[in-house]
Structure 1
């Protein structure tokens, strides 16, 4: 049957969340978005059609064939070729309306209006696309999406009802109770990917009460209400989906729908991107803009309402972010709320309408971005008040030369790559490039390219599959927008990216999967600036390609911590010991988390100029001796720290 919304990825190809939800990594940088399991297309809810004895062994294929007949007839379902619906939608702290169209094979379009944001997504039968609230258009063609489109095509042809299907297996999973309603449960598996759907069908009035759809990264529990008759078929007009472990809920109420309407196929075509006035200094390019590189993060100057501050460049952010208090100081109004998730945990964001701004030599039109309270507070020197994410970067072809500390922006329509690097297909996954890479002799996997992460990491599912969770390394803890995360920083032999080999890479391995991006199983990990800084990168969002060249520092070594001491910021803004790793010089010397650093080698910390210069001291050559003056519970004392290699 046709329904505009469905949280069943096995019944149609799922797609990333239409509401742009950014997520923060352990450094506080923005990471990829949460995929939404709202499906448009021919959605095949399966209904019971005969009385069921609790002890009876059920043939699921005969059972489902009878279901369709009882709910209006299988032939009637097969004659459904198109559909239209409108209604209301509630998602986290947003409320809005939708209008949806669908037509075989695979074509659909969904328009959503939440007031502060308006967005569309669809499929023209050949490719899936998404248009964000700022008018940027993305083709969704990552491997998992292509697999789910194939599953949807088979389901449209009722292949799951074939007992001899080479693609699907349908089985009886016994009895269960849902909200006091006795149900028969069926399990649908496929041989294209690992997605599994379970159907809970009421024994009293034979309606589908609930579905549970399990994918590698999320599990969606959807309940169905308000069944009505339409064209002889009994359909639910209200759905409530809970998305685990993201702690999200989406509620859909259909106010009107039609089966087999005439639909103009031009409606499904990928729309043209917005052509807002981007001001280049000359010739469709802004080249060699200097950036500040600190703690493996790229800072660019952004001018808003005449005020210039530092923003981080972050390809892992699904939408740009501004510090909420800074936005309000500029007279900008915060609207709505929506949940985000990061490397460690979950957090809440608002939306704000940003006026025209200037980024280096570029001028940009007004746009809608996220606002987050505490973004500036969680940074050190220089203080960042914003993050430039997908909605900014996708407007350009961007070239980053880490060694020269410059970034260049080009208009995509006129850009021609003339470099000598490797051109790598890197399909966007959650609006972030996914690059093939290999660690040591492990199987190749896809890693997100994240300019907003100072370190590189393996995701928990990948590490678990390959027995890496207990790998020796140095404990570390970080605090970002998503809260604290605990990892082990471990040295590997090599990492191969686009045929280029980096020796002795350091990768973090999360202690726990948690509800954040560390639990994303469809990606092997995250490539941050600790590895990317070896290269010159050219990012082409339109072609979903990354051009990779060895930089002039490709064979260089970059100093790492040699203490096991994580220095953060105390309540007074001065350096404080945040964490001490076991088995490191810092622990052996007697440092304790919470120690306030008053001086190093006799110099007051104020003379060093903040937290980051103290961290630089800890990266000096092995054998370096540092005399720390500490304050602990009102007592002042000295500790000598001797640096050594810890990886």
Structure 2
């Protein structure tokens, strides 16, 4: 599950009249030429720094976007209490600073394609004679609020495809619609005004598919000379919010394995131990009951997605301490929601421990001994951990490049999934799984943030994760219309049904998972 704030991307675009084209449908070049003329003077602009106030999803705050209009680099930042963070693209690499403060390279899922498309929009590359290498097609006219818009479908080279709507009267960019992870993001621009001769939208409204709107209102826009590329590169990480009691090198706690899920005792703000699920595909979450019992202040109604068709809303909070045995992290952002109906798993779940805790240590889930060990990174010996498997991050979700029946694929490592292997729906369809003649059944196979999940189930083939081979895992293909299992950008999912064969160790700093039978 992932919770996001839509980052401000003031896409400066625009245009000349093509009224002389009579009744003939305009070409993409006509529309973009008109847009460029309407947008004023952008030629020669190098750096743009945009700041906005934010209001939406029950929260208020500020955002900023620093854009290199020549090289396509950018940094988007938000400070929307109780959370803050940033993400960036230096033209080659993507990175993210998530709300708890970790800073990571990003190469999984659709992060890089999304970054390429954002840079494309920032630079107005579609104004170039070759459209900046993008494939662009006219998609007809659409109406909204009584106004007509010319619509283009744009697919930047290496980027995510998106729709761009241009006002047929003013030729200004009105809307961009783009798929990002499990959500369809609609950005609507209005109230254009000149800044140093260039037209910029003073208002942007974002709908993440929930109709729980977010509004960005321009407070400042400044053009300047070029900045060094280092201004857009991954910043240093500086964390001092975790410890193991007594200066010990590691802390080990027992866990229960129920429905292939890991449950262990957790203390929040010094509370008595409560049962939490431990999920490498998740974040720090408290149930509303837990937050209320502990008197924790909850703000907002932020859109959240995961397994299942639905978009749900969660509150945001801060916990002073989160302790698992002798290991503790402090001053942590947390989401507040019921991520599964009470009693679904047969456990009295009071919350979730996820990436934020695991990434601060070397984290080992020893399924054979039913223990979790948090190891001080300075004292970790990888020689004892098993077979190394390179991993990368899709935001905070571990993703492995592997194969299924010899076909290359991406596989998310998810201790929060009871399944063995869930093949991505689009990937399975492209490669013809399940194969004709395979015996299958359809069933409800789980429960995610967005509700129940449904799949076709069959005996699988050969799964390879790095140099580790898993023969014939019970395999599923999602039949959900929404959620993580249904979108092409999301990896296939390796869950507890496979992981319980191993002691699985996660070294986030060195992008490595270790598997030891």
Shorter-chain TM-score range: 0.7 to 0.9
Alignment of 1:135-534 (within 5 A): 135-142=101-108, 144-149=110-115, 160-164=126-130, 167-193=133-159, 195-214=160-179, 217-244=182-209, 249-260=213-224, 268-281=232-245, 285-304=249-268, 305-317=270-282, 319-344=283-308, 345-373=310-338, 377-412=342-377, 415-419=380-384, 421-441=386-406, 443-456=407-420, 457-468=422-433, 472-477=439-444, 478-514=446-482, 516-534=483-501
Q: How far is 1:479 from its partner?
A: 4.3
Partner SS, residue 80 of structure 1: coil
CA distance in 2, matches of 1:184, 1:440: 45
Deviation for aligned residue 1:186: 2.7
Which structure has the greater CA radius of gyration?
A: 1
CA distance in 2, matches of 1:340, 1:545: 27
List runs of 5+ in structure 2 lacking aligned partners: none
Q: Distance in 2 between matches of 1:473 and 1:95?
A: 49
Secondary structure of 1:258's aligned partner: strand
Change (3 A) 1:372 1:178: closer
Tell me the SS of whatever aligns to 2:242: coil
User: Equivalents in 1 of 2:87, 2:180: separation in Å?
Assistant: 21
Report the equivalent of 1:121. Answer: 87
Once residues 497 and 169 of structure 1 are traced to their aligned partners in structure 2, the CA distance between those partners, rounded to angstroms, is 34
Q: Is the 8 A contact 1:321 1:387 kept in 2?
A: yes
- 1 CA distance for matches of 2:175 and 2:330? 45
CA pair 91-508 structure 1, distance change in 2 beyond 3 A: farther
Report deviation, 1:369.
0.7
- Aligned equivalents of 1:152, 1:118: Cα separation in 2: 20
Change (3 A) 1:120 1:487: same
Given that residues 321 and 331 in structure 2 are in contact (C-alpha distance below 8 angstroms), is that contact kept between their aligned partners in structure 1? yes
Q: Indicate conservation of the 8 Å contact 1:185/1:201, yes or no.
A: yes
Cα-to-partner distance string for 1:433-475 (whole Å, 9 max, x where unaligned): 111233335x221111111111131232223333447964333
CA distance in 2, matches of 1:342, 1:446: 17
Q: CA deviation at 1:200?
A: 2.3
Q: CA deviation at 1:506?
A: 0.8
Residue 362 of structure 1 and its aligned partner are, at CA, apart by 1.1
Aligned to 2:510: 543
Q: Closer, same or farther in 2 for the Cα pair 1:383/1:543, shift >3 Å?
A: same
* 8 Å Cα contact 2:14-2:38 kept in structure 1: no
Query: Structure 1 pair 503/480, CA: closer, same or farther in 2 (3 Å)?
Result: same
Cα drift, residue 390 of structure 1: 1.2
Corresponding residue number in structure 2 for 1:580? none
Contact 1:398 1:540 in 2 (8 A): yes
| Secondary structure of the structure 2 residue equivalent to 1:326 | helix
Task: Give CA-to-partner distance per residue, 1:221-265, whole Å, 9 cap, x none.
Answer: 322211111111222111122234x55533211122112267687
* 1:487–1:148 Cα change, 3 Å: closer
Which residue of 1 is the match for residue 48 of structure 2?
83
CA distance in 2, matches of 1:509, 1:353: 37
**Offset of residue 44 of structure 1:** 4.6
Change in Cα spacing, 1:479 to 1:432, as seen in structure 2 (3 Å) is closer
Distance 1:546 1:302 in 2: 24
User: Using the alignment, how far apart are the partners of 1:545 and 1:328 within structure 2?
Assistant: 38
Q: Structure 1 residues 277, 160: CA separation in 2 closer, same or farther (over 3 Å shift)?
A: closer
Say if 1:140 and 1:374 are closer, same or farther in 2 by CA, change over 3 A: closer
- Are the aligned partners of 1:237 and 1:254 in contact in 2 as well (CA < 8 Å)? yes
Q: 1:155 to 1:40 in 2, by over 3 A?
A: closer
Shift in Å at residue 416 of structure 1? 4.3
The alpha-carbon deviation at position 417 of structure 1 amounts to 1.6
Residue deviations 1:172-231 (CA, integer Å, cap 9, x gap):
3333333222233333233435x3233322222222222333568543332221111111
Distance 1:484 1:501, change over 3 A: same
Q: 1:377 to 1:411 in 2, by over 3 A?
A: same
Between 1:304-313 and 1:99-108, the stretch displaced more is 99-108
Q: Considering Cα pairs closer than 8 Å and 6+ residues apart, tell me whether 1 or 2 has the greater RCO.
A: 2
Query: What is the CA–CA distance in structure 1 between the aligned matches of 2:452 and 2:467, rounded to whole Å?
Result: 35
Q: Distance in 1 between matches of 2:204 and 2:80?
A: 18
Task: Report the count of equivalent residues.
Answer: 510
Residue equivalent to 2:97: 131
| C-alpha contact 2:142 2:148 (8 A) present in aligned 1 | yes
Segments of structure 1 that go 5 or more residues without pairing to the other structure are 1-30, 552-647
Tell me the alpha carbon deviations over residues 406-450 of structure 1, each in whole angstroms, 9 at most, x when there is no partner. 222223355442237433222111310111233335x22111111
Counterpart CA distance in 2 for 1:446 and 1:350 is 31
Once the two structures are TM-superposed, the CA of residue 316 in structure 1 deviates from its matched residue by 0.4
In structure 2, C-alpha distance between the alignment counterparts of 1:159 and 1:141, rounded to whole Å:
23
SS of the equivalent of 1:46 reads: coil
Secondary structure at the residue paired with 2:336? strand
Q: What is the rounded CA distance, in whole Å, between the counterparts of 2:203 and 2:31 in structure 1?
A: 25
State the shift of 1:488 in Å.
2.8
User: SS of the counterpart of 1:523?
Assistant: coil
Deviation at 1:547, TM superposition (A): 2.1
CA distance in 2, matches of 1:140, 1:232: 36
Q: Secondary structure at the match of 1:531?
A: helix
Taking the aligned partners of 2:163 and 2:345, their CA distance within structure 1 comes to: 48
Write out per-residue CA displacement over residues 83-140 of structure 1, whole angstroms, 9 at most, x where no aligned residue.
1222222343322222332335344333322222222333455533222332222222
